[in-house]
Amino acid sequence: MACRGSGVRVPSGPPVTNCNPVELVAVFWVVKAVITNVTPHGLHHVTAIASEPQRNLDFYTKVLGLRLVKQTVNFDAPHIWHLYYGDKHGSPASILTFFPWPGVTSGIEGAGLTTSTSFSVPAESIGWWQERLKSLQIDFETTNSADGYEVIRLRDNDGMRIELVGTTGDERSGWDGEASIPAEMAIRGLHSVQLSQQLLEPTAIMLTEMLGMKLNQERSSMAQFAMSDAGTGTLVDVLPGVRERGLQAGGTVHHVAFRAPNLSTMETWRQELTEQGVAVTEIMDRQYFKSIYFREPGGVLFEIATDDPGFDIDEPLLELGRKLKLPPWLEPSRDQIAQSLTKIEV
């Protein structure tokens, strides 16, 4: 497709450069009323690009209170860290991961990128989070979502946009093992992601007819698509009418992953997508889950990831994230890889 090409190359996928919005309609799919029989359970994880790994680690564990559930490397570029943050277990729909790449160029928000990653927090905790961020001298603003929820908007050290959405009815447990954050105030997991696009329709076709999502609500400025029960951790907002293309680099999201409960479901999904002309990768072993990757018409890189086997496959639950873990095929190069990585203190 004409949307791939030059720009800042990051591990695990090419960036997206300028696209003619007319091409997105003309080149991609002819709508055939194809409704998939497979439906995602929700968001699995979001992966983004950072610069300095220690700053990234300190922000997400000491400020937001997430658990570092895995120290590993980008399997496609093992000299780059891959740090996973989440809840106590590293549960699907709680996970935010980073490729910290010292010296990386700063990205630019725009069309073809995921431009906001939102976490769910208890509605009654918003005031507590406001005071916490003030005490840490972190800039933020508070607004209201279209659903009436209070939302705290802030940015991490690389400028990536994060939101804390005050929700009700999210029964997931908060992680209270970091930064003295009480469990009743802690982040519950992912709430939603926002995709910025030039056009709504091509992305909407993929989300609904190929990925089994439903249009949850539509407003003049945004359309929201939902998976499963349309609860927290299942929502994708699409912001159309964004004129300028974004640049995927430091401080931007690399890809968004959706949940497949098992490998057989993923295989079915992959076959359906391929039959509709979508360029899908082979199934890849990511050690903690199996994955496939493909781009939606606007350029955002999507992944489908299995729930199993999980992050305790290579270290006990109580010791998650304490040591560098490598897949079997990289173990022979452990010493070389460890020496190439920027040092971090957990």
DSSP state of 61: I
Burial class (CB in 10 A: 0-12, 13-18, 19+), 69: buried
**pLDDT digit string (tens) for 46-93?**
999 999 999 999 999 999 999 999 999 999 999 999 999 999 999 999
pLDDT over 90 at 24, yes or no: no
Residue 319 lies in a domain: no
**Cβ(266)–Cβ(79) below 8 Å:** no
Contacts 24+ apart (CB under 8 A), 29-36: 29/202, 29/205, 29/206, 29/276, 29/277, 29/297, 31/205, 31/209, 32/276, 33/209, 34/209, 34/210, 34/272, 34/276, 35/209, 35/212, 36/209, 36/210, 36/211, 36/212, 36/269, 36/272
Structure tokens at 27: 């080149």
137: alpha, beta or left, given left = phi > 0 and alpha = psi -120 to 50? Answer: left
Residue 159 lies in a domain: yes
Q: How many helices (H) and strands (E) does the chain have?
A: 6, 16
For all residues of the chain together, what is the average pLDDT?
A: 89
Confidence of residue 221 (pLDDT cuts 50, 70, 90): confident
Of 77 and 147, the one with more pLDDT: 77
Rounded to an integer, the average pLDDT of 316-337 is: 97
Residue 9 banded pLDDT, cuts 50, 70, 90: very low
Q: How far is CA 339 from CA 57, 79, 120, 172, 329, in A?
A: 19, 9, 37, 38, 18
pLDDT in the model for residue 40: 78
Is the pLDDT at 20 greater than 70? The verdict is no
Kindly state the average pLDDT of the residues 199-223: 93
User: Per-residue pLDDT averaged across 300-309, rounded?
Assistant: 96
Task: Kindly state the average pLDDT of the residues 205-215.
Answer: 94
Note whether residue 42 is domain-resident: yes
Strand 301-309 with 289-295, pairing: antiparallel
Report yes or no on 343 lying in a domain: no
d(CA 148, CA 338) in angstroms, rounded, equals 47
Number of domains comprising the chain: 1
Under the banding of pLDDT at 50, 70 and 90, the label for residue 191 is very high
Where residue 260 falls among pLDDT bands split at 50, 70, 90?
very high
Q: What are phi and psi of 108, to 5 degrees?
A: -130, 125
Instruction: Please check the confidence at residue 38 and state whether its pLDDT lies above 80.
Output: no
Look at phi and psi of residue 151 and say left if phi exceeds 0, alpha if psi is from -120 to 50, else beta: beta
Looking at residue 228, the DSSP 8-state letter turns out to be T
Q: Give the type of residue at 65.
A: G
245 within a domain of the structure (yes/no): yes
Predicted pLDDT of residue 291:
97
Q: Is residue 135 part of a domain?
A: yes
> Looking at residue 145, what is its pLDDT?
84
pLDDT over 70 for what percent of the chain?
89
Residue 108: count other Cβ atoms within 10 Å of its Cβ: 15
Q: Which residues of 243-260 are buried (b: 16+ CB within 10 A; e: fewer)?
A: eebbbbbbbbbbbbbbbb
- Residue 19's pLDDT is 42
pLDDT band at 120 (very low <50, low <70, confident <90, very high): very high
Residue 334 lies in a domain: no
Reported as a pLDDT band with limits 50, 70 and 90, residue 11 is very low
pLDDT digits (tens, 9 = 90+) for 153-179: 999 999 999 999 999 999 999 888 777
* Distance separating alpha carbons of residues 39 and 260, to the nearest angstrom: 8
Please check whether residue 95 lies inside any domain of the structure.
yes
Give the domain CATH number at 293: 3.10.180.10
Tell me what pLDDT residue 36 has: 64
Q: Which of 328, 324, 339 is nearest to 83 (CA)?
A: 324
State the average pLDDT over residues 274-283: 95
pLDDT at 6: 25
Task: Give the structural domain span for 111.
Answer: 37-307
